[in-house]
Structure 1
Amino acid sequence: MSPADNLHAFQLVFLLLLIFVAAFTLLARRLNIAYPIVLVVAGLLISFVPHIPVVPLNANLIFLIFLPPLLFSSAYATSWRELRANGLSIGFLAFGLVAFTVFAVAEFSDRFITALDFKSGFILGAVVAATDAIAATSIASSLGLPRRVVDILEGESLLNDATALLALEFGLQMLLDGTTPTVSHALVRLLWLTVAGSAIGFVIGFLVAKLNDVIDDGPIQIVISLITPYAAYLAGESVHASGVFAVVAAGLYISRQHATIFSPQVRIQLHSVWDALTFLLNGVVFALIGLQLPVIMGFMHPNYTWPQLLGYGAIFSLILIALRLIWVFPVAWIAHQIDLRISRHPNPTPNPKSVFIIGWTGMRGVISLAAAISLPQTLGDGRPFTTRSLILFLTFSVILVTLVLQGLTLPPLIRALKLSTPHRTDEEEYEARRTSLNAAIAYLEQDQASQGDRFAHIYEDLIHRYRHRLAAVGGPTEDDPNHRLDGATYERLRHIAAGAIHAERNTMITLRNQGHLSDEALRKMEHELDLQQSRYEAAND
C-alpha cells in the first residue's frame, strides 16, 4: 500500500471515529448514562461486526499525545484548596492503595492463576492499580455526590498514575533483569519522581504565567496553553522524574493564576477550546478501548478457551473491586484520626456510606490498557513473554467490568444510600457574589460622588443593574433590606430577559441577511448577548 493510500485509510478511520464518538455520546445523553460507558460498550459490540477495521491502540500515542492534555485539563479544573484539605485521604489512595493493590494482586496471581507467577502478577497489579480520572469523575460528579467525595476521587485519579507507573517500572526490572528493588531504593525513586516532577511542573507553570502576562492575544495564548502540558510532561520525563506530576503541578499553578494572567475574553476562548479538546480526546480514547478486543485476542495463545478466559476475567475483576473496598474503610478512619491531631480545621468524621461509594468508584481506563500494551514481548534473555497476552486480556476485562458494572450501578447505589444532594450554590459562593456586587456598587457610588452630575444617568443605570443582581443572589438593598427574589419571580425575570435577548438576536440576524450588518459585527454582538444571558443563568445556580 502506497503512502497516499495509508494516509487515506488513516483519514477514513479517524473520520469514522469522530462520527462514532458524536453519535454514541448523543445516545449516552439521551439515555442519561455517562458517555465513557456507552462508548466502551459500543466499541466492543462494533468490534464483532465483520470487516470493521482493526484499530490497534499504541501505548506511545496514549502517553505522549493523549495523556498530557487530559491530565492538564483535570488538574486545571481541580481546586487546590480541596486537594490540600483532603491530602491525607488522597495520599492513602494514590500511594498506599496502589502499593496494596500491586502486592495483593501479585500474591493472588501466584496462587490462583496458573499461568502467572509472582513477578508477572506484580506487573499485572501495577498495570491495573491506577484509576481513570475521566471515567470516575465524569460519572461521580454528575450524580449529585457530596463535594468531598468527588474531590477525593479527582485527587486520587490525578496522582495514582505516577505511582502505578513507578510500580510497573519496578515490576519490569524484576522480570527483565532479575533484580528486586530495595525499600530504600523504591522510596528514593518515589521521592525523585514526586518532588522533581512537581518542581519542574511549577517552573513550567511559572514561566507560562509570566509569558501570558506580556501577551494579550487570544489565539497565541491558546496555542501556548496547548503546548504547556506537553512541555511539562517531556521536561519531567527527560530527567527521569514523573511527567504526570509535572503536568499536574503545571495545571494546578496556572489554574491558581488564571484570574490574573488571562483577560475575560481569552478565558472564554480557552474554556471553549479546552472543553472541546478534552471531550474529543476522551471520546476517542474510550471508543478505542472498546475496539481493542480483536487486537487483544490476536495475541492470545490458542490453549486458552473462552470459558477459561471469561472466568479469569470475572474473578480477577471482582478481586480487584474487593481489594479497594477492603482498603478504604480502615484508611478513612486512620486518615481522620491523623487529621484530628494535625489540622486546625479537621474534616468531618467519614460517613460509611460515602466511604463505600469511594471504594466502589474505582473505574479503570486507558492508562491501564496503555501500560499493558507497552509491556515487552520478550524477556531479558530473549525468551518470549508468554503471559503478556493474559495480562492484556485481564486488564481489558477489568476496564470493562469496572466501567460498566460499577458505572451503571452507581446511580441506584447513590439513591439507595441517600447520598445524592440537589445541585445548589454553596453558601460561600453566595457570600462571594454578594461581597463582590456590594464592592462594585460601593465603587460606583464613590466614583459618582467624585464626578458630580456629569454622568449621573450612567452611574444610576449601572448601580440599578448591580442592585438588581444583588437582590437575585440574596443581597439586601437600600429599599428593602430583607428583599430576595424567590424562585418563581426570578424564573419570570429570566424568561422576560431571554425573550428580549431573543428579539435582539433575531433583529441582528435580519440586518445581517439584509446586508446592513457584517458577519464579524454580528459574531461580536451575539457573543455579548451570550455573555449577558449566561449571567442570568449563573446567578440562579
Structure 2
Amino acid sequence: MHNTLPFLLAMVAAVVLLEMWATKLRIAYPILLVVAGLLVSFIPGLPVVKIDPDLIFFIFLPPLLFEAAWSISFKEMKKWWRIIGSFAFLVVFFTALSVALITNHYIPTFTLALGFLLGGIVSPPDAVSTGAITKFVKIPRSTSTILEGESLLNDASSLIIFRFAMIAVGTGQFAWQWATMSFMWMVIGGAGIGLIVAWLFVQAHKILPTDASSDVALTLIEPYFMYWIAEQFHASGVLAVVSGGLYMSAKRLVFLNSASRIMGYSVWESFIFILNGIVFLIIGLGLPDIVAGLRSEGTPLSTAISYSLLVTVTLIVARIISSYAAMAATLIFRPSVASRVFTGKTSLLTPLLLGWTGMRGVVSLAAALAIPVTLDSGMAFPHRNLILFITFVVILLTLLIQGLTLPYFIKRMASISAVFKVESDEETRRQMKQGLKQHVYEVLKNKYDNELNGHAGMEKFMKHWEERTKATDDSWMNEKAKVIFVELLESQRQYLTELNKDPKIDEEIIRQQLYQLDLEEERLRVI
C-alpha cells in the first residue's frame, strides 16, 4: 500500500499536468493521457496497475454516467430524440453485429457470441473524448447535444449486449424468449428503480437538515446506490443511474439551495476530471501487460495487431454507413424534419461528421476489464487477452486517428453551422437578460409600490434594477432588503424556468443564468 499510494498520487498529478499541456497544444487531453500512460508503462520498477474486474463497473461507471445525465439538457434531448435514439440503439446494434460477423469470419475459433461480446465492448463512442476535442472548435449546440445524448444512452444499450453475450459465452447457448423477457426487465426495471431511488434521495434532501457539504456528499454516493440496487434486482444499473440522474437534474432547483448547487458543480467537475484522467492513463499503462498475456497464449503480436486494425476499420465504416442510413430513413419517413436537418451540402456532410465522432474510451475499457479470467466452470475465458488487446488498440487508434483529425474536419465543414436553425446565443442572452430586468422591475412596482416611496433602501433596489448599476456601499442592504432581494432572485428563477419551456431557447443558456443567480444569492449572504 505504501508503494502504491505514491504511484496513485503521481497519476493524479500527471493527469493535471498533461491536461494543462493538452490545452496549450489545443488537442484533447485523453489523447495525451493514453500516449503518456503507454510510455510510462515501459519504465522499469513501476507497480503494475490492475483492477478487480468485479469492481471496475462499480467504481467508474456510476459517477461518470450520473454526471453526464446531470449535465445534459433533457429538453434538447427531446428535441432530437429520433436521431439520438437511432444512434444510441440501432447504430450500436448494427455496429456490434458487424464486429461479430467480421471477427467470426476472420479470427479462428472466435464464435459469434465472442464477436457480440467484443462488439458490445467497442460499439459505444466516448462523450469525454468528443467533448474534449470540440472544446477547441466551434460546433452547434444541437450537434453536441446529439452526441452527448447518444453517448448517454448507447452506454446502456452496448452494455446490455455485453451482458447477454457474456451469458451466451458462459452457457454456450442463447434462449431468445428468455433473452427478450430479460431485456425488457433490464430496461423497464432499471429505469424504474433509478427513478424510485432518485425520488427517495430528493425527499431525503428536502427533509434532512442538510447543508452544502452534506448535500454534495449525498450526491457523490447516490449514483452508486442507484447502480447497486438495480443490479441486485438483475436490472440495468446503467439505465438506473441514467434515469435517476436525469430526474434529479430536472429537480435540482427544488431540493438543492444555491450554496449546494455552486459547491456541487465545482466538486463534481474535479471528481469526474480525475476519474476520466485515471482511466485514460490506465488504458496506456495496461497495454504492455495485455501484450504479455498474448505472448503467453502463443498469439503473435503482429496477428493481434492485424485483428485490431480490422475491428477498428469495421467500427469506423459501420458508424458512417449507419449515419447515412439514418439520414436516408429521415428523408423517407420524416421529410418535415429532414428539411430542417439535411439541406444542401449538409445532407452529405452531416452524417460524415456524426460518423467520424466515434472515439472509444472509458466505457469500452471498463467493459473489457470486467471480463472474468475464468468461466463459472473454471475454464479460462476464451480469447480474453485478445479481446482486451483489441479493445485497447481500438481506443488508442480512434483517439489518435479520429481525435486528431476531427477538429480539422469540423473547421473544413464550416457550413455545418447552418444545419440546425437556432437563434444566436448572444441574441438569446440579450433578450433573456432584458426580460429578467423587466420582470424584476414589474415585481417591485406591483408588490412593493408603497414601500418604495420615500424609503432610501427600497429606492436603491429600484435604481439597481432599473439602471443595473452597482452600489459601492452595501450598508443599504438591511435585513428587510435582503429578504426582498432573495425573493426577487427566486422570482427570476421561476421566470427562467417558464422561459425554458420555449423550444427555441437553448437550456444551457438558461442554466448559465441560473448559476449567476446562485452566485448573487451567495454574495448576498456575506454582506
Could you say which TM-score interval applies, normalised by the shorter chain?
0.7 to 0.9
Provide TM-score, normalisation by structure 2. Answer: 0.82
Q: Does 1:387 align with 2:383?
A: yes
Aligned counterpart, 1:112:
106
Task: Sort the Cα spacing of 1:169 and 1:13 in 2 relative to 1 into closer, same or farther, 3 A.
Answer: same
**In 2, Cα distance between the equivalents of 1:198 and 1:431?**
37
Q: CA deviation at 1:304?
A: 2.8
1:310 aligns with 2:309: no
Question: 1:403: how far off?
Answer: 1.3
Residues 20-99 of structure 1 correspond to what in structure 2 (within 5 A)?
Answer: 20-99=14-93
Q: Which residue of 2 aligns with 1:332?
A: 327
2:11 corresponding residue in structure 1: 17
Q: 1:274 to 1:139 in 2, by over 3 A?
A: same
Rounded to whole Å, the distance in 2 between the matches of 1:68 and 1:168 is 17
2:280 maps to: 286
Kindly state the Cα deviation for residue 72 of structure 1 after the two structures are TM-superposed.
Answer: 0.6
SS of residue matched to 2:46: coil
Give the structure 1 partner of residue 199 of structure 2: 206
State how 1:243-262 maps to structure 2 within 5 Å.
243-262=237-256
The change in CA–CA distance for 1:140 and 1:185 in structure 2 (over 3 A counts) is: farther
Shift of 1:274: 0.9
Counterpart check, 1:172 vs 2:171: no
- How far the C-alpha of 1:427 sits from its partner, in A, is 4.2
Letter of the 2:401 partner, please give it: L
Question: 1:323 is paired with a residue of what secondary structure?
Answer: helix
Structure 2 alignment gaps of length 5 or more: 474-515
Q: Does 1:375 align with 2:371?
A: yes
SS of 1:127's partner is helix
What root-mean-square deviation, in Å, do the aligned CA atoms of Structure 1 and Structure 2 show? 2.9
Q: Is the 8 A contact 1:115 1:387 kept in 2?
A: no
1:445 partnered with 2:445: yes
| 2:398 paired with 1:399 | no
Q: 1:415 to 1:251 in 2, by over 3 A?
A: same
- Residues 324-374 of structure 1 deviation map (CA, whole Å, 9 limit, x = unaligned): 111111113324654557x8x996337332221111111111221222222
CA contact (8 A) 1:54 1:294 kept: no
Deviation of 1:531 (Å): 4.4
The answer to whether the aligner puts 1:132 opposite 2:131 as a matched pair is: no
Distance across 1 between alignment mates of 2:400 and 2:370:
24
201 and 385 in structure 1: CA distance in 2 versus 1, 3 angstrom threshold = closer
Which residue pairs with 2:181 in the alignment?
Answer: 188
Change in Cα spacing, 1:430 to 1:254, as seen in structure 2 (3 Å) is farther
Report the Cα offset of residue 409 of structure 1: 0.6
For residue 119 of structure 2, what is the amino acid of its counterpart?
Answer: G
CA positional deviation for 1:68: 0.7
Q: Give the distance between the partners of 1:99 and 1:181, measured in 2 at CA.
A: 18
Cα distance between partner residues in 1 of 2:258 and 2:376: 55
The one of 137, 146, 149 equivalent to 2:143 is 149
Given that residues 143 and 420 in structure 1 are in contact (C-alpha distance below 8 angstroms), is that contact kept between their aligned partners in structure 2?
Answer: no
> Which one of 290, 293, 301 corresponds to residue 296 of structure 1?
290
User: Structure 1 CA distance, aligned partners of 2:2 and 2:424?
Assistant: 49
Q: Does 1:464 align with 2:460?
A: no
Distance 1:332 1:137, change over 3 A: farther
Query: Is it true that 1:277 corresponds to 2:271 in the alignment?
Result: yes
Secondary structure of 2:341's aligned partner: coil
Is contact 1:177-1:380 (8 Å) kept? no
In structure 2, what is the Cα distance between the partners aligned to 1:372 and 1:356? 28
Q: Distance in 2 between matches of 1:419 and 1:462?
A: 46
Shift of 1:391: 0.9
Could you tell me the percent identity over the aligned residues? Answer: 34
Q: CA deviation at 1:90?
A: 1.4
Deviations 1:155-209 (A, max 9, x none): 1111112221221222222222121231x44433332222211111111222222
- Contact preservation (8 Å) 1:73, 1:278: yes
Indicate whether 1:323 and 2:318 are aligned: yes
Distance 1:280 1:468, change over 3 A: farther
> Alpha carbons of 1:380 and 1:196: their partners in 2 closer, same or farther (altered >3 Å)?
closer
Paired residues of 2:98 and 2:314 also in contact (CA < 8 A): no
Listed one character per residue, the Cα deviations across residues 4-39 of structure 1 (whole Å, up to 9, x for unaligned) are xxx212311211111111111111111111111111
* Larger deviation, residues 291-300 vs 114-123: 114-123
| Counterpart residue identity of residue 463, structure 1 | M
Tell me, which stretches of 5 or more residues in structure 1 are unaligned?
A: 1-6, 470-492, 502-527, 536-541
Q: Distance in 1 between matches of 2:415 and 2:271?
A: 32
Matches of 1:380 and 1:453, distance apart in 2: 81
Query: Residue type of the partner of 1:188?
Result: M
Identify if the C-alpha distance between structure 1 residues 347 and 137 changes in structure 2 by more than 3 Å, giving closer, same or farther.
farther
Q: How does 1:419-498 map to 2 (within 5 A)?
A: 419=415, 425=425, 427-455=427-455, 457-469=456-468
Q: Which amino acid aligns with 1:425?
A: D
One-letter amino acid matched to 1:192 = W
Q: Deviations over 1:361-414 (max 9, x none)?
A: 111112212222222334465443341111111111100011121111111111
Distance 1:407-1:421 versus aligned 2 partners, 3 A rule: same
- The CA deviation at 1:278 is 1.0
Per-residue CA distance 1:394-451 (angstroms, 9 max, x = gap)? 1111000111211111111111111576996264444333222211111223344221
Shift in CA distance, 240/39, structure 1 to aligned 2, threshold 3 Å: same
Give the counterpart letter for 1:117 in structure 2.
Answer: T
Deviation at 1:218, TM superposition (A): 0.9
Counterpart residue identity of residue 58, structure 1? D
Of stretches 201-210 and 109-118 in structure 1, the one that deviates more from structure 2 is 109-118
Q: CA deviation at 1:245?
A: 0.9
Which position in structure 1 is the counterpart of 2:115? Answer: 121
Amino acid at match of 1:438: Q
Which stretch shifts more, 73-82 or 97-106? 97-106
* Cα deviation, residue 150, structure 1: 0.9
One-letter amino acid matched to 2:190? G
Question: For residues 144 and 86 of structure 1, what CA distance do their matches in structure 2 show?
Answer: 20
Kindly provide the CA deviation profile for residues 460-492 of structure 1, in whole angstroms up to 9, marking residues without a partner as x: 3333333445xxxxxxxxxxxxxxxxxxxxxxx
| Whole-Å separation in 1 of the counterparts to 2:228 and 2:85 | 25
Greater alpha carbon shift after TM alignment, 114-123 vs 215-224: 114-123
Alpha-carbon distance between aligned partners in 2 of 1:186 and 1:98, rounded to the nearest angstrom? 18
How far residue 311 of structure 1 moved from its aligned partner, in angstroms, is: 2.4
Contact 1:131–1:157 under 8 Å retained in 2: yes
The answer for the alignment partner of 1:505 in structure 2 is none
Secondary structure of the corresponding residue to residue 292 of structure 1: helix
Q: Residue in 2 aligned with 1:487? A: none
Does the C-alpha gap of structure 1 residues 108 and 534 become closer, same or farther in structure 2, counting only changes over 3 Å?
Answer: farther
Amino acid at match of 1:172: M
Deviates more, 1:327-336 or 1:424-433: 424-433
Give the letter for the 1:401 counterpart: L
One-letter code aligned to 2:383 = T
